[in-house]
Structure 1
């Protein structure tokens, strides 16, 4: 299993890193669109859509993505789209995790079909806009989620005692979540103090809000990275599967890799100025 995970990680890095660092924005956008469409396919599968339904849903998501480019791309942010995605995550995310309704049937499934398309399209726009603001900016945005996850893993292993959501994801702890938050704060603080690789998400927030509100904003984003992770965990638990798919050997599915990004990306863009750069 470890060998498989390492090989898959190397292949992914070999594809994504050069495209992110060196390719034109159009190539980056095409690659992210490819990822988003596969994530939509997995989303439909977790909602227990049978037959060709997941493929149809993925194609509808792709069509919605193309149509959404009329809202604006790149430096001029499609804020209405980010607002719609943000409302979903702020209201529905915590409610679902607290009440745990059955998501793959009735009104909830219909609602999540629509909300999923909005979330995936907003994810694409956010990443393309971040990439147009510069490679350091998009990497800093991704790094926030990665740091929160890595910090949570190691802090949870070392200090985890109190379960964060035992009926949804028994491996997660409050100590782990706090460890992830501390990791983000340390890296963000160092990046701001050293003016490292600017512009970054951290420098943009600091320039707009100052120290205290930047800390508060990053805290909210870290919290929603956890909510995104737990939301997908609940979907998987109710669907009776361990991973969203087997597309990434040793790592599960595409949705498993971007679940925490889905709420963070639109919320982060809403907190920034209407234009980046």
Structure 2
């Protein structure tokens, strides 16, 4: 299993690096749309659509929705914040669903409802990535979001192993603990502090207001990234499956790799727009 994980990671890493950091805007849009479409194919299975033709149809439908969204936002860019606000609102609703589980499943048990929830996850993620790509120093912003997600996950792992007695959501993900959550949170807050120092020294002077905004954005993104993982775990547990697919040997499926990112990116982008924060040209 470890060998498979390493081989898969070695293959995926250069693809993701080139796709995220070196593609121009339009190819980048198709690259993220392709990832979303593969994720949609897997989400259809999570939603309860077992036949491959129905999963392919759902993936195609999601791709069409992304294309329509792209055309609409190109003409009406002022609507971008509403797309991101809707995505952020979904994660607020998702918190209530996770908290109630295993109760409350009658609300989202129907396959069509779970399929709709996939749109709430994937479309805002694409819009969030596009917003970051259009910003000055886009690669730096995307790297930072990834570091927040990885920092939350890494901090949670080590803190959870040492102090993780009180479970965060035992009915959804028994391995997650409150100690892990706070360990991940502390890690990302430290990351925010280091980032602020680095930005102030090497990129642009930061005011006290800028620093506060970075900390607020980081804190919100951290909390939601944890929720993204919990929501997919809840959906898979309800469906009775361990992985979203077996596309990535040793890693499960694409959704298993991007669940936290799918939550973090739109919230990060929304908070940037809401607080009117960004990096100077």
Kept after mapping to 2: 8 A contact 1:136/1:197? no
**Helix, strand or coil: the match of 2:273?**
coil
Q: Which residue of 1 aligns with 2:226?
A: 226
What's the secondary structure of 1:23's corresponding residue? coil
Map of 1:194 onto structure 2 = 198
Once residues 14 and 98 of structure 1 are traced to their aligned partners in structure 2, the CA distance between those partners, rounded to angstroms, is 38
Is 1:6 paired with 2:28?
no
Give unpaired runs (5+ residues) of structure 2. Answer: none
SS at 1:262's partner residue?
helix
For residue 170 of structure 1, report the CA deviation from its aligned partner: 0.9
More deviation, 146-155/15-24: 15-24
SS at match of 2:105: coil
Greater shift after overlay, 93-102 or 177-186?
93-102
Q: Could you tell me whether the CA contact under 8 Å between 2:196 and 2:211 is conserved in 1?
A: no
CA shift for structure 1 position 210: 4.1
Give, in angstroms, the shift of residue 213 of structure 1.
5.1
Q: Which residue of 1 aligns with 2:122?
A: 120
- On the 8 A contact 1:163/1:171 being kept in 2, the answer is yes
Question: Post-superposition shift, 1:60?
Answer: 0.4
Aligned runs of 1:197-276 on 2, under 5 Å? 198=203, 209-212=209-212, 214-273=214-273
Once the two structures are overlaid, the 10-residue window that deviates more, 6-15 or 208-217, is: 208-217
Q: Give the match for residue 105 of structure 2.
A: 102
Inter-partner Cα distance in structure 2 for 1:29 and 1:229: 24
CA distance in 1, matches of 2:21, 2:213: 30
Distance 1:214 1:21, change over 3 A: closer
Compute the displacement of 1:265 (Å).
1.7
1:146 maps to which of 130, 144, 150: 150
Deviation per residue, 1:131-187 (Å, 9 max, x gap): 232211111122211111111112212222211111111111111111111111111
Following TM superposition, by how much is the alpha carbon of 1:129 offset from its aligned partner in structure 2, in angstroms? 2.0
Alignment partner, residue 176 of structure 2:
172
1:70 matched to 2:71? The reply is yes
2:220 and 2:267 in contact (8 A); partners too:
no
CA distance in structure 2 between the aligned counterparts of 1:239 and 1:198, rounded to whole angstroms: 47
Q: Quick check: 2:37–2:59 contact (8 Å CA) kept in 1?
A: yes
Q: Name the CA distance, whole Å, in 1 between partners of 2:88 and 2:208.
A: 20
Superposed displacement of residue 271, structure 1: 1.4
> Considering only aligned residues, what root-mean-square deviation do their CA atoms show, in Å?
2.3
Structure 2 Cα separation of the partners of residues 93 and 251 of structure 1: 24
How far the C-alpha of 1:105 sits from its partner, in A, is 3.0
Q: 1:157 corresponds to which residue?
A: 161
Structure 1 residues not aligned, in runs of 5+ = none
Q: Contact conserved, 2:44 with 2:115, CA < 8 A, in 1? A: yes
Residues 193-232 of structure 1 deviation map (CA, whole Å, 9 limit, x = unaligned): 1227758xxx9xx769444454343222211111111010
The alignment of Structure 1 onto Structure 2 pairs a total of residues equal to: 267
Contact 1:42 1:54 in 2 (8 A): yes
